[in-house]
Every structure is written in C-alpha cells, then in structure tokens.
Structure 1
Amino acid sequence: MRVFITAGEASGDKLGAALMQGLKQLLPDVSFRGIGGARMQAEGLDSLFPMDEISIMGISEILKEYRHLKARIRQTADAVIAEQPDVLITIDLPEFSLRVNRLVKAVSDVRIVHYVAPTVWAWRPKRAQKMAAHVDQVLALLPFEPPYMQAAGIACDFVGHPVVMDPQASDAEAQAFRARHGIDGAMALMLPGSRRSEISRLLPIFAEVARALQALRPDLRIVVPAAPSVAQAVRAAVQDWPGAPLVIAPDQDDSGAEKRAAFRAADVALAASGTVSLELAAAGTPMVIAYDMSWLSRQIIGRMLLVDTVTLVNLVSETRAIPEFIGPKCQPGPIAQALIEVLDNPARQQEAMQLTMQRLGQGGEFPGLRAARAVLNGLASGATRH
C-alpha cells in the first residue's frame, strides 16, 4: 500500500508519525511519500521539502507568503498526481492541505483523507460543505466534531487525540528538573507557539508579562520551551527578560524528556492557543491562554467566531475554567494578573483538565492505531463519492 501524507507544523508531524506507526502495525508493507518533520521522517518519510516552509497562519501572513505557498501547493499536488497513491492523507493546515486536495481531485480519483476536522463549530461553518467536493473522509480529534462533518456528507471518525497517550514525567523527574536548574520557588512556563509568525507576534507581549510577573512575584522563575525550528529566535528574544529565563530547546532527536519534566514541574503556564493546552492538561499544569493576530485577521475572524472560547480544554470539558486572552484582549497586565490568580488557586482547573483527558480517549486504544484502522476501513469500503 502506498500512502502520500502531508503535515506542515509540529502538531501535525506528531499526528502523522502516530498514524504512520498505526498503519505499519496493521499493514507492514506500507510505504510513505509526502511532507513532514523529524517525527514522520523517523517513521520512514522522505519529505519533499522542509515542513516549516508551509507553516503559515493568519490571513495577512498567508497573503505575504502567498506566491511561495502557491508554488509549494502546486508542487505537492503534482507529486500526488504523478505518484497515484492508494490514499492521500493531509494533516491539518487547511490553508495548504485543502488547496492540494482540490487540485488532486480535479484530475484524479485518489481517495483523500483529511486528518483534523476544520473548526466549523467555531467559525466558517460552510467549510464543511466546501470540503465535501474533494475530501472523502475526515479523522476527528475531538468527540463533538463528527456530526458537523457527517451533516455535510463527509464520512468522519472520532479517533481520539494522541496527547492522551503521551508519556508524562514523574514527580521525581520534575523535582530533578528543578534541582538541575536551581529552581527553588514558583515556576511558570511560557509557550509562545512553534510557528515563526506566532513567536514574532507573541514574544513581545510575553516579555511584558514576564516583567509584570517579576514585579509581582520576584521569586518566580520563567522557563520557555522552544521548538527546534524557532529556538534561536526565542533565545535572542528572551535575553532582555528579567529573572534570567531558562530556554529549553531540544535537538531534533531529543526524547522530549526535558520538556516533559518542565511541564510537570511548572506551577502555571502561559501558552498560545492551540493543542499545547491539551499537553498542559495531560501534565496537570494549570494555565492561561493568550493569542493575538494581525489587525486584518482580528477583524475578519472576530466577526465570524461562533463560540465564546477557543481553548480546547474549555470546549472539550464544556467548562470555562481556563482564562483566555484573545485578540484585542491579549494585553500584558490582565494576563499577568490572571497568571497570579491561577498560581494562587490552581485547584479549580484540575477537574476540567481530567474530564478533557477522559473525553479525548484516555485509557483507550492508541489514537494513531485508531486513525490507521479508520483509514483502512474507508479504503476497504470504497466509500468515495467522486
């Protein structure tokens, strides 16, 4: 079986690697081509080009890089059409993935599976109907998503979220982390995202939060885990922050043990909106979510948003336990105050985090294997509408 699989950011690389593991377990003779990062490459993928070239988020950011992105979309679609795989699996990154899918379906009957349902429950609900023309099946990470896709005529399977299977650091490992880095008092994580566009926009805001926290809690130590692709920029940015923040930037082949220990050791975290909130919930780390975007993105997305929260823990748990500061509310003063409040009263988030993990499939079958089985079942059924 020949699989063409694409991902464009760290979370997609993680999902892709887990799916590839599941496919290899169910079908040992499977082969892979496509686009991916270090994790997918470790599972046997030869990437067409570096994954971070297509990791662009935000309307104005996409417009700025449109010519280059369009060329990569065309290159990828041409590779799929030439390869004629048994299935094309595109992972998240709809700005890239759905355009590739459209080009492929226009000239081919290759079965297309999109992994990670679009957030039609949050904004632009008509995206589901548009997808129906060139996507055969969707793999959903969140339990409430399949009905939205099925209503548009697309087969959709809830396959669970791989975060529930991630290894977690022990209390002893967390204590060793603190001892190794000389952290005796309170510890806060700052997680500005893995995209270059995210960190350029969020780090200046997080810097002001760090200064406010230092004034309120001089004993607080800040730790900044950074993705390898943006580690250099993060290190340069935090040099002027107070309190000598510690940057954790594992190499591509690092096991992630240091990051896991930091998550477990932290008393509170400030994180960009996204799947990192689920990673923090899995580690039991209370959090505050903050995210900003360009003025144009604010205007357009703000008018189209259908939900009152974008934090996944809030949505899955059906609570509003996690404070969030999005768009114009992404201001250093209120963010710092919320972090102090969570630091002083972390217990109210614990129930919501535990419920989220249960609903995402904790204790069940490995989501990568569930996703692989869903892909193979779809292929076997031949349930393509094109």
Structure 2
Amino acid sequence: MAALRDEAERRKGEIWEQVAERDCGGRAERGMGGDGVREAEAAQWRAGTIEFQGVGGPWMASEGLNSLFPMTDLSTMGFAEIIPRIPLLWYRLRQAVRHVERFQPHIIVTIDSKGFNFRLLKAIGAEYKRHGRDEEAPFCVHYVAPSFWAFKGGEKRLQHLSPLIDHLLCILPDEPATCQQHGISATYVGHPSLEAIAEEQKDRQSEGGETCFETSQQQQHGIPATPVGHPPLEVMAEERRSRQSVGGEASEGAVQREAGKRREEGGMEEEEKQREPHSTGVDQPWWKATGDGTSFRRQHGIPVGPQHIAICLLPGSRLQEVSRMLPIFIQTVDSLTKSRWLRDHLDSQGPDGTLSLVIPTLPRSSNVTARVESIFHSWLDSLRNKRPSKKFPFSLLPPLPSNTVVDIAAAVVVPALEVNASVNSRMRMIKPGPDADTFAACDLALCVSGSVVVEVLRSQLPLVVTYKANWFSQFIVKQRASIQYASLPNILLNKPLLTEVLFSECTPHNLSSNIRFLMENLDKCKARQTATAHLFYNVLQEPLNSNVSHAPDSELAHTPSKIAAQVIFTQFNS
C-alpha cells in the first residue's frame, strides 16, 4: 500500500468513475462493488491525494461523489425496452465524454452496464486519438465482465474489447482464463456477495461474537482466512470437474417444456429429485446470513406461527421490471388467496392461519418505490372498491371479497435504504433493518432473476425464480442464448437446483403451482437451499483461498472490493 500511496501522490491519481450502481430486489448493490473500490482508497482521497469524479448512485454520493447526472438514467435492460430511451442515453454519453475531456483523468473505472460503458470507452479513445494524444489516454479498467458465456459466439466478441480495456475485473472464477485467451488482461476479484459475508463476519468479530473465519497468522500476511467447514480444495476441485463434465446445450424452450412435463400431476416430486444436491453436513455454514425474523414480524404486524405464512415478493429494481412483474406477482397471490387448498394447508398448521406479503424496495424517494405503491394500491382498490389508506411502510388489509378464502393479514412495503448524516458529518447509507431480518421473517420468496437470488440463497429461503420480458426481447434471447438457466447458482453449478419459471411459462397459474409445492415441502426445500448455497459459495471462494498474490500487504482486507482496488493500482503502476 505504501507504494500505491506514493504513486497516487506523485501522479495525483485522479479516477473518473462511471458506476452502474443498481438495486436488485430492494437492496442497493453499492455499484456492484464500486463502493468498496472507493473505500479502499478513501483515506488517500480525503487527504487530497485522489480525486474522484463521475456518475454514481446514493452509495457513491455517501462517499462524497457529486454525480454528473442521475445514474437512474442508465438503468435499463432488454432490447425493445431500450429503443425509446436511445435519445437520452446518447445525450448522457456525449455529456460523459465531454466531462472526461475536461477532467483529464489518469484512470477510468467503468462498472457493468456494458452497452453504455463500452461505447463510452470507445468514444473517449477516439477523442484522444483525434487529438494525437494516444500516449496520454487514461488507464481503463472495467468491473464485471460481459456475460460472454451466456450467448452463442460470445467468447469471440471479447477480442473486440481488447482495444478498449486495459484490465478487466471479473466476479466469476472461470472468466479470467477465457478473457486472457482473447487478449484481455483480467483478474478474478471475487463475487460482491462475498463482500457482504466478510462484512458480517467482521461485525460479529468486533462485537465479540463467534465468527466462522479463522483469524490466524494467515491474515497478517494477506492470505485469506479459510472458512470453518469449508471443504478441502481437492474436494471442491473434484466437484467442479464433475459439474464441467455435464455437457450439452439446450434451448430455453426445450428446457421449459421438459420442466413442464415434470410438473404435470404427480410429477413435481420427480423434478425435485433432479434438483436435489448432496447434503454437505455443515452445521454452521460460513456464508449463512442470520436475521431476526420474529422481531421483524412483530415490528410490521405480521402474525407469528407456522400457520401464518409470509411470502417475500421481489419484483425487480428497475422501473420497467416492477411495472411488468409486480402485477403478475399480485395475480399469483390473488390466485392463492382464492384457493381452498391454501386454507386447508394453513389449517393443518394451526388455527386462524393467514397469508402475509413482504416487498423489500428502494428508499422512499425512489420512483421504483412509488410504482410499487401505485400498483399495490390499484390492487387494493379493485378488492375494496374504495381508496385505500396511504400509510406506509405497511398496510393492513380488511376482509377481502367473499370469493377469497384466505385473508391477507399484512402487506409490508419495506424501504431497504435511507440516507442519514453520520457523526462525522459525512453522508452514509443506513438500513432501518438488515435484509437478513426481512428474509428471515418470510417462509418463501418469489423473485425476479437477478443478483437478489444470491442474497435470498444466503438466507436459505426457498424461492421461485422468474422473469418475463418484452416479446421481442424474449425472441432474441431464445435465439442467442447458449445456457440453460437464468439464475447464477444454476448457471455456475450447471444444475436446475433453483426453480425457474421463465418467459412464456411465467404465468400466475404456474407461479402459484410452484409456490404451492414449496409450501408443502418447506423443510425439504430449506435443506436443499442450504446444500445449494454451500456448493455455490465454495465455487466463488475457492480461487480466493488458493491465490494469495492479490493482497501481500496486511493493510488490505482480502475482500472483493479491496482486491479490486489493489489490482487497479497495481496494474496502473506496472
């Protein structure tokens, strides 16, 4: 770190950041690791040795960044969905290029949002070349590799990125080797979910509680602590070879049709046998998120007891996702409440059973939260035929129409993040309650495919992963996709361990059928989630355990964000 500080001071290490910070199902992801990159050099920055400018969200603002423009302007996805936003995106692109020309940074860090960022880097390179200043061009680092493994011919497209990127920071362990084969310098820095695990372990240790990580002399020399219960590396290597030996590609349609056949009457159990991973035998997983679900329920008026089922709805983080998916989720819940099966199931667990909904979302000021409330109240209007109360964070529903069998006891909309001033007058983000508490309070989850799946997995919460896009986007994906699954755990483990209901299969009927199966087999599904999560997190952690070259200085914690910061400055100075 001393050499990095000296170099930053000598060069006035200015960094221009375009941060694709995004929320996934209600929890801001801190720029997919961008906050950690900044925190790694926060001391030098506050001392005046590093200057940050660029685009970011609330987490970056909490560190003092004045965003060039609202980062939400870049929050879009799909194919047809982007068309109406092209003029705005083009304007923001030119605005960013002009700012870089004025700022003249030494380093540019772009994060995710490949459609915007790669065009940005190309335009910046063209400007430097046009002025004959190629040698003065900034060092360009991109965080989060494009999903080349998800589409046919994706690997070949990597070679077009070589002129744009000086170094690529990857969050999946097998990505760097492929990138390097196509001429791109790359490093695996760890998945952002490992950051959250490390932070929680650090908090437990500082509070004097138990920690699942060893604190031996390894850490003093930059060697990552080995999680208690972590299997030997040779065992994990054998697991990986076993997974990679499962070859072949299948179209999304074929996979969905096969899944549909297994879901026919009497066939759901057979499908679950195909999903079942081997038990790990780990009593206290090192990756597990622990929360106080009972306190959360009492705080938000959700009844406690096995006959009181709470479903966590995670309709996405983008406005277009929420607008498309939340109505489907509500129709699914509506179908469940009218089901005699649900009443019989709740009665079998105890008297006066209820169903509750929990919807984690963004801060109150977010337009996504406003859309959630709007859609939710429209549903209440249709049920109650009058204007519902505007009180939040939760609404209690009165008895529903006569055709409804199960009352909804509580509907809780939980803002995930708020901004408050800390004691040192710097702005920081705090949560009214940890996500782990939210998930611990629920019995199962219905979520849009995305990073939130990984968070739910840590909480061992049975879930159904789903997604439905514009018909044109669905057509393009089906034509180009080279993978069978949508959720990262299924992709990385190459098995349908998590239930996925995608595209044309995403209907209230299919979703309610899968939720029904989870409710009938909660204990079994939780055990399966535990085994799946253990396999998944071992795959992510293994390369960091076996590679000690990233953090030779004891001042750097061996976390994804700190590794990323180390790699950026090491590559810049090399």
SS state at 1:134 partner: coil
* Pick aligned residue for 1:128 from 140, 146, 158: 158
Query: Which deviates further from its counterpart, 4-13 or 149-158?
Result: 4-13
SS state at 1:220 partner: strand
- Determine the C-alpha separation between the residues in 2 that align with 1:179 and 1:329: 36
Q: Which amino acid aligns with 1:379?
A: F
Number of residue pairs matched by the alignment: 380
Matching residue of 2:537 = 357
Query: Which deviates further from its counterpart, 276-285 or 246-255?
Result: 246-255
SS state at 1:34 partner: strand
- Determine the C-alpha separation between the residues in 1 that align with 2:121 and 2:34: 17
Cα pair distance change 1:189/1:371, threshold 3 Å: same
In the alignment, structure 2 segments of 5+ residues that lack a partner are: 1-12, 24-28, 129-136, 201-287, 344-353, 381-399, 401-407, 420-428, 546-557
Query: Structure 1, residues 142-162: CA drift from partner, whole Å, max 9, x if none?
Result: 112112211221111111122
Matching residue of 2:356 = 221
Q: Which amino acid aligns with 1:334?
A: N
Any conservation in 1 of the 2:290–2:459 contact (CA below 8 Å)? no
- Determine the C-alpha separation between the residues in 2 that align with 1:307 and 1:37: 31
Cα pair distance change 1:263/1:2, threshold 3 Å: same
Coordinate RMSD, CA, aligned: 2.1
Matching residue of 2:42 = 24
Cα pair distance change 1:57/1:12, threshold 3 Å: farther
Q: How does 1:1-386 map to 2 (within 5 A)?
A: 1-8=13-20, 9-10=22-23, 11=29, 13-24=31-42, 29-108=49-128, 109-123=137-151, 125=154, 126-166=156-196, 167=200, 170-171=290-291, 173-183=292-302, 184=304, 185-216=308-339, 217=342, 219-228=354-363, 229=366, 230-239=368-377, 240=379, 243=408, 244-253=410-419, 255-256=430-431, 257-343=433-519, 344=521, 345-346=524-525, 347-361=527-541, 365-381=558-574
How many Å apart are 1:103 and its aligned residue? 0.5
How many Å apart are 1:44 and its aligned residue? 2.4
Query: Structure 1, residues 121-141: CA drift from partner, whole Å, max 9, x if none?
Result: 001504322222211111111
- Determine the C-alpha separation between the residues in 1 that align with 2:147 and 2:43: 30
Query: Structure 1, residues 152-174: CA drift from partner, whole Å, max 9, x if none?
Result: 21111111122223248644x22
Any conservation in 1 of the 2:289–2:458 contact (CA below 8 Å)? no
Any conservation in 1 of the 2:107–2:140 contact (CA below 8 Å)? yes
SS state at 2:149 partner: coil
Q: Which amino acid aligns with 1:269?
A: A
How many Å apart are 1:231 and its aligned residue? 0.7
Query: Structure 1, residues 336-386: CA drift from partner, whole Å, max 9, x if none?
Result: 2212223323122221112222322399621100111111121122xxxxx
Query: Structure 1, residues 205-257: CA drift from partner, whole Å, max 9, x if none?
Result: 11111112323435221101112321111012122267242111245325232
Q: Which amino acid aligns with 2:565?
A: A
Query: Which deviates further from its counterpart, 324-333 or 7-16?
Result: 7-16
In the alignment, structure 1 segments of 5+ residues that lack a partner are: 382-386
Q: TM-score scaled to structure 2, two decimals?
A: 0.63
Any conservation in 2 of the 1:284–1:350 contact (CA below 8 Å)? yes
Any conservation in 2 of the 1:4–1:32 contact (CA below 8 Å)? yes
Q: Which amino acid aligns with 2:369?
A: A
Cα pair distance change 1:14/1:25, threshold 3 Å: farther
Any conservation in 2 of the 1:14–1:39 contact (CA below 8 Å)? no
- Determine the C-alpha separation between the residues in 1 that align with 2:161 and 2:518: 40
Any conservation in 2 of the 1:286–1:350 contact (CA below 8 Å)? no
Q: Which amino acid aligns with 2:162?
A: A
Q: Which amino acid aligns with 1:262?
A: T
Any conservation in 2 of the 1:248–1:258 contact (CA below 8 Å)? no
- Determine the C-alpha separation between the residues in 2 that align with 1:300 and 1:318: 22
Q: Which amino acid aligns with 1:367?
A: P
Q: TM-score scaled to structure 1, two decimals?
A: 0.92
SS state at 2:418 partner: coil
Matching residue of 1:384 = none
- Determine the C-alpha separation between the residues in 2 that align with 1:368 and 1:26: 16
- Determine the C-alpha separation between the residues in 2 that align with 1:309 and 1:260: 26
- Determine the C-alpha separation between the residues in 2 that align with 1:264 and 1:132: 44
Q: Which amino acid aligns with 2:331?
A: E
Matching residue of 2:231 = none
- Determine the C-alpha separation between the residues in 2 that align with 1:104 and 1:78: 9
Structure 1 vs Structure 2: percent identity of aligned residues? 30
Any conservation in 2 of the 1:15–1:368 contact (CA below 8 Å)? yes
Cα pair distance change 1:323/1:33, threshold 3 Å: same
SS state at 1:361 partner: helix
